Homo-oligomer: A and B are copies of this chain.
Amino acid sequence: MKKFKDYEKLAIFAKAMAHPVRLEMLAHLSAHDYCYTGDLVDVFPLAQSTVSQHLKELKKAGLIQGKICPPKVRYCLDEENWKIAKELFEAFFKQKNV
């Protein structure tokens, strides 16, 4: 059966993951439970604004969440969507028939 709707969603997740820096960020969050923007600024050789922009992309796709903890912002994986993404990718690669 056609699952175009799923592909829309899957494409959004794939797009968020379509950059090495964002994959590193996700991996970092997967490994560390949470982190602040500044932590990532220290890790990547990128301007603070660029790191922030990548985080925004990940948040837009729903893969991460940001919680304001003044004066910082604490990011963590969005476990629910992370699970959905995992399942969509799994299903996509599993399928071998319509």
Which A residues contact B (CB, under 8 angstroms)?
A: 3-4, 7-8, 10-11, 14-15, 17-20, 22-24, 26-27, 30-31, 82, 85-86, 89-90, 92-93, 95-98
Contact = CB atoms under 8 A, between A and B. Distances in A.
A78 to B, nearest CB: 13
Report how many copies the assembly holds: 2
Contacts of A4: 20, 24
Contacts of A20: 4, 7-8, 10-11
B97 A31 contact: yes
Contact of A7 (B27, B82, B93): B27
A95 to B, nearest CB: 6
B96 A85 contact: no
A90 to B, nearest CB: 7
A14 B98 CA distance: 22
Contact of A15 (B3, B8, B18, B86): B18
